[in-house]
Amino acid sequence: MSLKWKSLILLMQLSCCFSSGSCGKVLVWPTEYSHWINMKTILDELIQRGHEVTVLTSSASILVDPNKTSTINFEVYPTSLMKDDLKSLFTSRLRKWTYDFKQQTFWEYFSQVQEIFSEYSDRIEMFCKEVVLNKKLMAKLQDSRFDIVLADAVGPCGELLAELLEAPFVYSLRFTPGYTYEKYSGGLMFPSSYVPIVLSELTDQMTFMERVKNMIYVFYFDFWFQTFNEKKWDQFYSEVLGRPTTLSETMRKADMWLIRTYWDLEFPRPFLPNFHFVGGLHCRPAKPLPKEMEDFVQSSGEEGVVVFSLGSMVSNMTEERANVIASALAQLPQKIFWRFDGQKPSSLGSNTRLYKWIPQNDLLGHPKTKAFITHGGTNGIYEAIYHGIPMI
pTM: 0.81
Nearest CA among 351, 29, 314, 308 for reference residue 161: 29
Write the DSSP assignment of 145-161 as a string of letters: --SEEEEETTSTTHHHH
Enter the CATH code of domain 291-387.
3.40.50.2000
Q: Which of the pair, 5 or 279, is modelled with greater confidence? A: 279
Q: Which of the pair, 69 or 249, is modelled with greater confidence? A: 249
Is the per-residue pLDDT at 230 higher than 80?
no
Is the per-residue pLDDT at 169 higher than 60?
yes
Is the per-residue pLDDT at 17 higher than 50?
no
Report pLDDT digits (tens) over 88-111.
656 555 555 555 555 567 677 777
Is the per-residue pLDDT at 67 higher than 80?
no
Q: Report the distance separating Cα 60 and Cα 80, nearest Å.
A: 8
8 A C-beta contact, residue 270 and residue 194: no
Specify the pairing of strand 169-173 against strand 148-152. Answer: parallel
8 A C-beta contact, residue 132 and residue 240: yes
Q: Report the distance separating Cα 196 and Cα 198, nearest Å.
A: 6
The counts of H helices and E strands in the chain are 15, 11
How large a percentage of the chain has pLDDT more than 70?
Answer: 85
Query: What is the residue-averaged pLDDT of the chain?
Result: 84
Q: Using DSSP, state whether 105 is helix, strand or coil.
A: coil
Predicted pLDDT of residue 226:
78
Predicted pLDDT of residue 89:
59
Predicted pLDDT of residue 170:
95
Q: Amino acid letter at 363?
A: L
Q: Which CATH superfamily is domain 3-277 in?
A: Glycogen Phosphorylase B; (3.40.50.2000)
Predicted pLDDT of residue 124:
87
Predicted pLDDT of residue 296:
94
Report pLDDT digits (tens) over 316-341.
677 888 899 999 999 999 999 999 88
Give the residue ranges of DSSP H helices in the chain: 3-14, 34-48, 83-88, 94-99, 106-132, 135-144, 158-165, 180-184, 208-231, 233-241, 247-251, 291-298, 319-329, 360-364, 378-387
Q: Amino acid letter at 172?
A: S
Predicted pLDDT of residue 19:
41
Domain residue spans in the chain?
3-277, 291-387
